[in-house]
C-alpha cells in the first residue's frame, strides 16, 4: 500500500492547552514524558512550572466521565447547534452528549454525588457503602466509569 502515515508527535512536541497559561508541555522528568498518545485529550496535573516554557508534572490522563463527575465547578447543559452539550468550568471544557437524556442523567448523577459528599462532610462517621442511597450512587459511578 502507499500513502502517508500520520506520525505520533515527539515527546518535546506534544502540548496541551490550559485555560490560564495557553500551551503547556509535559516536563522531561515526568513519567508520562515519553507517552506519545493518550486515549483521552484531558490530563490532570499536580504541579505547573515555568522554565524555558510552561511545563506540567505529576500528570495523569483522565477520561470524560470522571472529569465530569469529579471535576471542580458546576456542570451545565445546553443545546448548541442541535447538540446537547455538557460544560464545565464556565464553558471552557465542553462535551457533546449522545442525547438529551444522557446529558440530563450525567448532570443529575453529578448533583447526587455532590450532595452525597456534602452529607459525608456533615457526618464523617456515615458509611457511604452501607447506606442505600450512597451505595446506589457509588455503584452507578463505578459502573459508568468502568464500562466507558
Say whether pLDDT at 2 is over 70.
no
Domain limits of the chain? 11-62, 65-146
- pLDDT, residue 3, reads 63
Q: Please state, in angstroms and rounded to a whole number, the distance separating the CA atoms of residues 40 and 121.
A: 31
pLDDT at 1 over 60: no
3-state secondary structure string across 80-131: ECCEEEEEEHHHCEEEECCCHHHHHHHHHHHHHHHHHHHHHHHCCCCCCCCC
pLDDT (tens digit per residue) in 41-98: 899 999 999 999 999 999 999 998 899 998 878 888 888 888 999 998 888 888 898 8
pLDDT tens-digit readout, 19-34: 888 999 999 999 889 8
For residue 70, give the H/E element and its range: helix 64-70
Amino acid at each position: 500500500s502507499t500513502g502517508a502515515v500520520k506520525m505520533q508527535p515527539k515527546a518535546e512536541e506534544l502540548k496541551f492547552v490550559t485555560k490560564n497559561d495557553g500551551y503547556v508541555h509535559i516536563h522531561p522528568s515526568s513519567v508520562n514524558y515519553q507517552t506519545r498518545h493518550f486515549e483521552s485529550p484531558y490530563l490532570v496535573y499536580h504541579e505547573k512550572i515555568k522554565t524555558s516554557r510552561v511545563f506540567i508534572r505529576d500528570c495523569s490522563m483522565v477520561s470524560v466521565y470522571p472529569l465530569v463527575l469529579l471535576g471542580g465547578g458546576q456542570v451545565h447543559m445546553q443545546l448548541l447547534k442541535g447538540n446537547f452539550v455538557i460544560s464545565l468550568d464556565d464553558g471552557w471544557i465542553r462535551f457533546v452528549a449522545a442525547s438529551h437524556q444522557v446529558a440530563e442523567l450525567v448532570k443529575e448523577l453529578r448533583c447526587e454525588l455532590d450532595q452525597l459528599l456534602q452529607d459525608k462532610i456533615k457526618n464523617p462517621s456515615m458509611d457511604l457503602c452501607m447506606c442505600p442511597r450512597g451505595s446506589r450512587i457509588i455503584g452507578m459511578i463505578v459502573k459508568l466509569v468502568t464500562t466507558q
